[in-house]
Amino acid sequence: MNQKEVGELRRRFSPDRNAVSRIYGCYVNGSGEIISCIDQSLGTMPLEESEAYLGLFKKSLSGAVGRSLIDISFSTAQVMDSDEHRLLSALRDSALQDDETRQAFFRKVIDSLDMDGANYLILLAHDRYDVPFRGGDGETLPDSGDEVFSYILCCICPVKDGKAALGYSSGDNGFHRLAASQIVAAPELGFLFPAFDNRTANLYSVLFYSRSADKLHREFIDGVFRAEPPLSAAEQKEGFQAALGEALENACCLDVVQSVHEQLCEKIELHRESRDPEPLTLTAQDVGCILQDCGVEQEHVAAFCEKCAEQFGPSAALSPQNLIDSKRFEVKTTDVTITVTPESSYLLETRIIGGRPYLLVPVGDGIEVNGLPVGIRLPEQENQPV
């Protein structure tokens, strides 16, 4: 799925747009025991309550594709005959109305998921979307198109203890200490089945959501989907940095890393400005061309591509947003850390002075120390006031 398709479904989760009739779920304690089950009509809920439920589902379709939202693929054999795909299909085909199927799904989730002993809420919703036709200009045409997208959306939310606090009581118009309550937090993870690829159902794919791009809950992906979890954003960044360092060796200097970071930032910015809904990806060979432009020798470039193949697989598509931090450039020594915006990274340079390596930062209009403007004492001003 791309960002535009995700956005199209996200807009469904408002009271006047969705076709969700009921909310299903169960409340699970830290020991994996079901405390209570939910089977409520969305239409009979107070508006504030229904909006709260829909907001949780909408949150599980948030974030960037390739980071918080990732595609999980089923093999042909799984789609043809497997317990995991059969269970998801049964949930969808029954519109979640089969209690036995729901309970089997809840049990599979509970047995698979590790929430570090915290209580959590499993929520399920089924929606039927009459997909409108989209014209050549990208605009959708109401009351057109014959595609009906039937899908389920699941989100899993931690339930946290609130704090007792002083609050207003309308009964006696006074303020009293109110008891602590159980509060449902934003979803930790969730998924959409089937995926909405090219604005139609793709039974070979699930769109998986993780609140933290660095923690994908691999145990859940393996237990519920029986699929190989992809590398998290943190693992991709770590693998990329390892490939650079090991392949370039002494050629992995500040100038080269600055240039790679700068060019990847430029590609990310150009992709953002283009409004292309498809996620931006690069191959190891694309990064190799950047290294060549920086003057890195061909043998090091070839070694980098080989290391990437080992880390990510041959011809892997890499997301630049997962490989670098496009909002900052950080240089760290044993005792000092310097952070600048990527567009200012060119200001940093290394130099050997008196046989020792130094990291130089030119001073602009002035310096502040803990918010206090200070001057710089030059050698010829040694004994003069600043």
CA-closest candidate to residue 132, choices 142, 124, 123: 142
- Same domain for 162 and 16: yes
Bond from prior residue into 379 cis (ω within 30 degrees of 0)? no
pLDDT at 138: 58
- Same domain for 195 and 155: yes
Extract the residue ranges of the chain whose pLDDT is less than 50. 384-386
- Same domain for 216 and 312: no
- Same domain for 77 and 31: yes
Contact 54, 13 (CB under 8 A): yes
- pLDDT, tens digit, for every residue of 215-267? 889 999 999 999 987 888 888 899 999 999 999 888 888 888 999 999 999 99
Which residue matches tokens 């979307």?
Answer: 129
pLDDT at 385: 47
Asked if residue 386 belongs to a domain, the reply is no
- Same domain for 185 and 113: yes
Q: Rounded distance, CA 362 to CA 272, Å?
A: 31
Give the global pTM.
0.82
- The count of domains in the chain is 2
- Same domain for 251 and 188: no
pLDDT at 334: 86
- pLDDT, tens digit, for every residue of 115-143? 988 999 999 999 999 998 876 555 666 65
Asked if residue 237 belongs to a domain, the reply is no
- Same domain for 166 and 262: no
- Same domain for 352 and 251: yes
pLDDT at 163: 81
Take residue 364 and report the two structure tokens written for it. 């602009």
Asked if residue 304 belongs to a domain, the reply is yes
Asked if residue 232 belongs to a domain, the reply is no
**Phi then psi for 307, rounded to 5 degrees?**
-65, -40
- Same domain for 248 and 221: no
Q: How many CB atoms lie within 10 A of CB 308?
A: 25
- Same domain for 180 and 136: yes
pLDDT at 11: 92
Which residue segment(s) compose the domain that 321 sits in? 244-369
Asked if residue 361 belongs to a domain, the reply is yes
Asked if residue 380 belongs to a domain, the reply is no
Contact 312, 236 (CB under 8 A): yes
Asked if residue 209 belongs to a domain, the reply is yes
Asked if residue 42 belongs to a domain, the reply is yes
Q: Rounded distance, CA 328 to CA 324, Å?
A: 9
pLDDT at 386: 41
The dihedral through the CA atoms of 182, 186, 190, 193 has a sign that is positive
> Using H for helix, E for strand and C for coil, what is the string for the chain?
CCHHHHHHHHCCCCCCCCCCCEEEEEEECCCCCEEEEEEEECCCCCHHHHHHHHHHHHHCCCCCECCCEEEEECCHHHHHCCHHHHHHHHHHHCCCCCHHHHHHHHHHHHHHCCCCCCCEEEEEEEEEEEECEECCCCCEECCCCCEEEEEEEEEEEEEEECCCEEEEECCCCEEEEECCCEEECCCCEEEEECEEECCEEECCEEEEEECCCCCCCHHHHHHHHCCCCCCCHHHHHHHHHHHHHHHHHHHCCHHHHHHHHHHHHHHHHHHHHHCCCCCCCECHHHHHHHHHHCCCCHHHHHHHHHHHHHHHCCCCCECHHHHCCCCCEEEECCCCEEEECHHHHHHCEEEEECCEEEEECCCCCCEEECCEEECCCCHHHCCCCC
Name the domain boundary from 174, 197, 225: 225
